[in-house]
Chain A
Amino acid sequence: MEFSPVLYIAIPLFAAFLIPLLGKVSKTLVKLTPGIVFLYLSYGSILLFPKAMEKPIVQVVAGFKPPFGISLYYGATAAFLITMVTIVGFVIWLYSYKFIIREPIEKYYMLFMMLITGSTGILLTGDMFNMFVFLEITSIAAYSLTAFLRDKDGAEAAFKYLLIGSFSSTFYLLSVMIIYSYTGTLNFADIAGKIDLIPPMAKGFVLVLVLVGMGIEAEMFPLNGWAPDAYSQAPSPVGAVFGGIVVKAGLYAMIRIVFLFFKTPEVMQFLIFMGILTLLIAEMAAMRQHQIKRMLAFSSIGQMGLVIIALGIGTMGSTSAALFQMFNHALIKSLLFFAAGYLVFHSGSKQIEDLEGLGYDKPVTSFFFAVGALAIIGLPPFSGFWSKLLILVSVAKAGDIAILLLILTGSVIEAIYYLRAVVKLYTRKEVPDNVRRTPISGLVAMGVLAAIILYVGLYPGVIEKWLAPAANNLLNAADYIKAGLF
Chain B
Amino acid sequence: MISVPVILSVMFLGGVLAWLANRFVPKGASWTAAIIAAFAGYLVFALPSCGGEYSLALGSITLVWKSTNYSALFAMLVAVLGFLGILYSMDFMAGKKNLGYYYMNFLFALGAMLGIVYSQDLVSLFFFWEVMTWSSFMLVIYSGEEKSHKAGIKYFAYSAIGAYLILSAIVILYAQSNSFLLSENIKMFSGMSLGTQIMVISFLALGFGVKSAMMPLHVWAPEAYKESPSGFTAVFSGALSKMGIFGLGLVIFKFAANTEIFGYVRETLAWLGGLTAMLATFYAVIQSDAKKLLAYSSIGQLGYIIVGLALGTPLGIMAALFLTIMHGAFKAMLFMTAGAVYMRTGTTSLNDVSGLITKMPLTFLTALFGIISVSGIPPLGGFISKWMLYQALLETNHYFLIIVIFIASTAAFLYLYRFIFSFFLGQKEKEVEHVKEVPWSMLVPMMFLTLFVLFAGLFPGVILDPIGKAMGYLGNFKASWEPQVVFSAWGEKINMQVIAGTIGTIFILGALFIGYKNKKATRVVSTKDIHTAGEIPTENENLTYAVNFNQPFERAIAPILKWSVDKLFNLLGENLESTFEYLRYVYTGNGQTYAMYVILMVVILILFSGSIFGIHL
**A204 and B127 contacting across the interface, CB-CB below 8 Å:** no
Whether B601 pairs with A411 at a CB distance below 8 angstroms is: no
B contact residues around A419 at 8 Å (CB):
137, 152-153, 156
A428 in contact with B58 (CB, 8 Å): no
A123 to B133, CA, bound (A): 39
CA distance A223 to B604 in the complex (A): 13
Q: Are A461 and B594 in contact (CB under 8 A)?
A: no
Which residue of chain A is the closest to B129 with respect to CB atoms? A380
Q: Which of A200, A380, A381 has the most CB of B within 10 A?
A: A380
In the complex, which residues of chain A have a beta carbon less than 8 angstroms from the beta carbon of B160? 411-412, 415-416
- List residues of B (572-610) whose CB comes within 8 Å of A's CBs: 577, 579-581, 583-584, 586-589, 591, 593-595, 597-598, 600-602, 605-606, 609
Q: Which of B164-180 contact A (CB under 8 A)?
A: 164-165, 167-168, 171-172, 174-175
B152 touches A264 (CB 8 A): no
**Alpha-carbon gap, A223 to B600, bound state (A):** 10
A328-364 Cβ-contact flags toward B at 8 Å (1 or 0): 0000000000000000000000000000000010000
Interface positions, chain B 101-135, Cβ under 8 Å from A, are 123, 126-128, 130-131, 133-134
The answer for the CA separation of A203 and B616 in the assembled complex, in Å, is 10
A381 / chain B contacts, CB cutoff of 8 Å = 127, 131
Kindly identify which residue among A208, A228, A395, A428 contacts B144, using a CB–CB cutoff of 8 Å.
Answer: A428
Q: CA–CA, A201 to B617, complex, Å?
A: 5
Interchain CB contact under 8 A, A266 and B577 = no
In the assembled complex, A159 has its CB within 8 A of some CB on chain B: yes
Which stretch in A36-44, A91-99, A280-288, A442-450 binds the other chain? A280-288
> A204-B617, A211-B605 are known contacts. Are A395 and B171 too (CB-CB below 8 A)?
yes
For B560-581 the 0/1 string (1 means CB < 8 A from A) is: 0000000000000000010111
Dominant secondary structure at the B interface: helix
- Interface-central residue, B149, B157, B601, by most chain A CB under 10 Å: B601
Size of the chain A interface, CB-CB below 8 angstroms: 73
A163 within 8 A of B: yes
Interface contact B144-A426, CB-CB below 8 Å: yes
Contact with B along A115-131 (1 / 0, CB 8 A): 00000000000000000
With a 10 A CB-CB cut-off, give which of A204, A397, A463 has the most chain B CB atoms.
Answer: A204
Cβ of A393 and Cβ of B175 under 8 Å apart?
yes
Contact B584 A264 (CB under 8 A): no
A192 touches B (CB below 8 Å): no
Bound CA span A465–B58, Å: 10
B403 interface contact, C-beta 8 A: no
Closest beta carbon of chain A to B576's beta carbon, Å: 9
Contact pick for B598, options A164, A200, A423, A465, CB 8 Å = A164
At the interface, yes or no: B613 with Cβ under 8 Å from chain A?
A: yes
Cβ–Cβ < 8 Å partners of A226 in chain B:
594
In the complex, the answer to whether A427 meets B146 with C-beta atoms within 8 Å is: yes
B2 at the interface (CB under 8 A from A): no
- The reply to whether A264 and B123 contact each other, CB–CB distance below 8 Å, is no
Main secondary structure of the interface of A (DSSP, over half): helix
CB neighbors of B among A409-457 (8 A): 411-413, 415-416, 419-420, 423-424, 426-428
Contact across chains for B583 and A281 when beta carbons are under 8 A apart: yes
Contact of B613 among A266, A360, A401, A460 (CB under 8 A): A266
B617 partner, pick from A205, A285, A395, A459, beta carbons under 8 A: A205
A461 and B59 form a contact (CB under 8 A): yes
> Within B10-31, which residues are at the interface with A (CB < 8 Å)?
none
For residue B489, CB closer than 8 A to chain A, the reply is no
Please determine whether A212 and B613 come into contact, CB atoms closer than 8 angstroms. no
B174: chain A residues within 8 A (beta carbon): 393, 396-397
A50 proximal to B (CB < 8 A)? no
Q: Does B141 contact A (CB under 8 A)?
A: yes
Q: Is A483 an interface residue (CB 8 A)?
A: no
Task: Tell me whether A385 is interfacial, beta carbon within 8 Å.
Answer: yes
Give Cα A392 to B170, complex, Å.
10
Size bin of chain B's contact surface: 35 or more
- Is B58 a contact of A461 with CB atoms below 8 Å? yes
Complex CA distance for A306 and B459, rounded to whole angstroms: 56
B168–A404 CB distance below 8 A: yes
A256 is an interface residue with CB less than 8 A from chain B: no
CA distance A208 to B168 in the complex (A): 34
Min CB distance, B587 to chain A, in Å? Answer: 6
Determine which of B127, B144, B153 lies in contact with A380 in the assembled complex, contact meaning CB atoms within 8 Å: B127
Given the known interface contacts A167-B595, A212-B605, the answer about A380 and B130 at a Cβ–Cβ threshold of 8 Å is yes
A423 adjacent to B141 (CB under 8 Å)? yes
Query: How far is the CB of B336 from the nearest CB of chain A, in Å?
Result: 25
Contact of B161 among A207, A281, A412, A424 (CB under 8 A): A412
B612 within 8 A of A: yes
Across the interface, which residues of A come within 8 angstroms of B156, CB to CB? Answer: 415-416, 419
- B167 near A208 with CB under 8 A, answer no
Q: How far is the CB of B584 from chain A (nearest CB, A)?
A: 4
Cβ B591 vs Cβ A208 within 8 A:
no
Residues of B within 8 A of A397 (CB): 174-175
In the complex, the answer to whether A374 meets B144 with C-beta atoms within 8 Å is no
Contacts of B579 in A (CB 8 A): 284
Contact residues in B for A284 (Cβ distance below 8 Å): 579-580, 583-584
- Which listed residue, A222, A288, A413, A423, touches B601 by the CB 8 Å rule? A222
Q: With an 8 A cutoff between CB atoms, is B94 at the interface?
A: no
Contacts of A401 in B (CB 8 A): 168, 172, 199
Instruction: For B131, give the chain A residue with the smallest CB separation.
Output: A380
B598 touching A393, Cβ below 8 Å:
no
Complex alpha-carbon distance, A374 and B149, angstroms:
16
Chain B residues with Cβ under 8 A from A396's Cβ? 168, 171-172, 174-175
Indicate whether B615 reaches chain A with its CB closer than 8 angstroms: yes
Shortest B162–chain A CB gap in Å is 10
B172 (CB) vs chain A CBs: closest residue: A396
Judged by a CB distance under 8 angstroms, whether A399 is at the interface is: yes
B57 interface residue, CB < 8 Å from A? yes
Contacts of A205 in B (CB 8 A): 606, 617
Asked if A270 and B130 make an inter-chain contact with CB atoms under 8 angstroms apart, the answer reads: no
Minimum CB distance partner of B137 in chain A: A419
B61: Cβ under 8 A from any A Cβ: yes
Give A285 to B123 CA distance when docked, in angstroms: 31
Q: 5 A-B Cβ contacts within 8 A?
A: A204-B617, A281-B586, A380-B131, A401-B172, A424-B149
**Which A residues are within 8 Å of any B CB, using their own CB?**
156, 159-160, 163-164, 167, 171, 200-201, 203-205, 207-209, 211-212, 215-216, 222-223, 225-226, 228-229, 262, 264, 266-267, 270, 281, 284-285, 287-289, 360, 374, 379-381, 385-386, 389, 392-393, 395-397, 399, 401, 404-405, 408, 411-413, 415-416, 419-420, 423-424, 426-428, 458-461, 463-465
Ranked 10 nearest A-B pairs via Cβ: A225-B594, A464-B59, A461-B59, A396-B171, A428-B144, A204-B615, A160-B591, A408-B164, A396-B175, A284-B580
